[in-house]
């Protein structure tokens, strides 16, 4: 997973709106090998990075942490962005759900990304959760079983 994270970050680093963005990598997982579909897992990582970039200021870094627990690799994507109100957090992974933004339409999307992320993780016997506070940012944590037990 560390290699996949690095590859996605290198690819993302050249995209408009992401170039020059600071991504702090904190790879603390001793066991990062998993069995899975590289293309779909790369899309999961890409989606979570895109969201962190989309909903935070360009001058704020994004942190990516890895760790092991209970036979999983846990990957946290931490931004210091606008955050998500508690009432919306439980709906984030539903198909077509978008956090209401009033009449502001400056952030594009169809509400499919996080639904896709959750489904792909479920197919890999993994999961995702969110911790967020309005005005302070969001942390999306994914859990995927490793090949060897941690």
Q: What is the pLDDT of residues 52-97, one digit of tens each?
A: 998 898 899 999 999 999 999 999 999 999 999 999 999 999 888 7
Q: Which residue has the higher pLDDT, 72 or 19?
A: 72
Region 134-144: mean pLDDT is 97
Integer Cα distance of 117 and 140 in angstroms: 11
Question: Strand, helix or coil at 111?
Answer: coil
How many separate domains does the chain show?
1
pLDDT for residue 108: 63
Residue with tokens 């859990």: 143
CATH value at residue 104: 3.30.565.10
pTM: 0.90
| Per-residue confidence band for 46, with pLDDT thresholds at 50, 70 and 90 | very high
Residue 139 is assigned to a structural domain of this protein:
yes
pLDDT of residue 103: 44
Three-state DSSP class for residue 87: helix
Determine, yes or no, domain membership for 110: yes
Cα separation, 148 vs 73, in Å, equals 10
In a domain, 29, yes or no: yes
The dihedral built from the CA positions of residue 69, 78, 1 and 142, taken in this order, carries a sign that is positive
Give the pLDDT confidence score for residue 105 in this predicted structure.
44
Contact present, 6 and 66 (Cβ < 8 Å)? no
- Average pLDDT over the chain reads 90
Q: Does residue 150 sit within a domain?
A: no
Per-residue pLDDT band for 98 (boundaries 50, 70, 90) equals confident
The fraction of the chain above a pLDDT of 90, given in percent, is 71
pLDDT at residue 145, as a whole number: 97
pLDDT for 142 equals: 98
Distance in angstroms (rounded) separating the CA atoms of residues 146 and 71: 6
Look up the domain containing 12 and give its range.
Answer: 2-145
Report the distance separating Cα 58 and Cα 84, nearest Å: 18
Asked, for residue 11, whether it belongs to a domain, the answer is: yes
Is residue 30 within 8 A of residue 66, CB to CB? The reply is: no
In a domain, 26, yes or no: yes
- In this structure, are residues 120 and 67 in contact, taking their beta carbons and an 8 Å threshold? no
């Amino acid at each position: 997973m560390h290699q996949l994270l690095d590859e996605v970050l290198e690819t993302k680093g050249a995209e408009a709106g992401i170039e020059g963005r600071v991504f702090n990598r904190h790879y603390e997982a001793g066991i990062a090998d998993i069995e899975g579909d590289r293309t779909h897992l790369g899309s999961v990582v890409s989606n979570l990075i895109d969201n962190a970039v989309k909903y935070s200021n360009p001058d704020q870094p994004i942190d990516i942490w890895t760790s092991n627990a209970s036979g999983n690799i846990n990957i946290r994507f931490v931004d210091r962005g606008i955050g998500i109100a508690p009432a919306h957090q439980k709906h984030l992974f539903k198909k077509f759900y978008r956090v209401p933004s009033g009449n502001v339409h400056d952030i594009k999307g169809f509400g499919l990304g996080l639904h896709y992320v959750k489904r792909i993780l479920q197919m890999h016997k993994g999961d995702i959760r969110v911790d967020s506070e309005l005005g302070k940012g969001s942390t999306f944590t994914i859990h995927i079983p490793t090949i060897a037990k941690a």
